[in-house]
Amino acid sequence: MELDLIFILMACAVGLWMTWGIGANDLANIMSPALGSKAISVKHAIFIAVIFEVAGAFLGGNQVTETIRGGIIDSQLLAPQLLIYGMLSVLFAGATWITLASYFGMPVSITNAVIGALVGVGAIALGFDAVHWEKVGYIAISWVSSPLSAGLLAFLIFVTIKRFILGVDKPFEAAKRLIPIYLFIVGIVLAMMTIVKGLKHFSINLNILPMLLVVLGTAILVLIGGLFAMKRIFAKTHLNRHMQFAYIEGMFSVLMALTACAMVFAHGSNDVAIAVGPVSGVISLVWKGQPMQDGWMLGMIMLCGSLGVILGLFMYGRKVIATVGHAITTLTPSRAFAATLAASSTVVVSTSTGIPVSATQTLVGAVFGVGLARGIDALNLTVLRNIFVSWIVTIPVAALLATGFFYGLKWIFG
What's the pLDDT tens digit per position in 55-94?
Answer: 887 776 555 555 555 556 665 666 778 888 888 998 999 9
pLDDT at 374: 86
Mean pLDDT of 109-128: 80
* pLDDT at position 405 over 70: yes
pTM: 0.83
pLDDT bucket at 162, cuts 50 / 70 / 90: very high
User: In this predicted structure, which of 255-264, 286-295, 296-305 has the lowest mean pLDDT?
Assistant: 286-295
**Range of the structural domain that residue 40 is part of:** 2-413
The answer to whether residues 254 and 333 touch, using CB atoms and an 8 Å cutoff, is no
pLDDT at 133: 75
Mean pLDDT of 142-158: 89
Domain count within the chain: 1
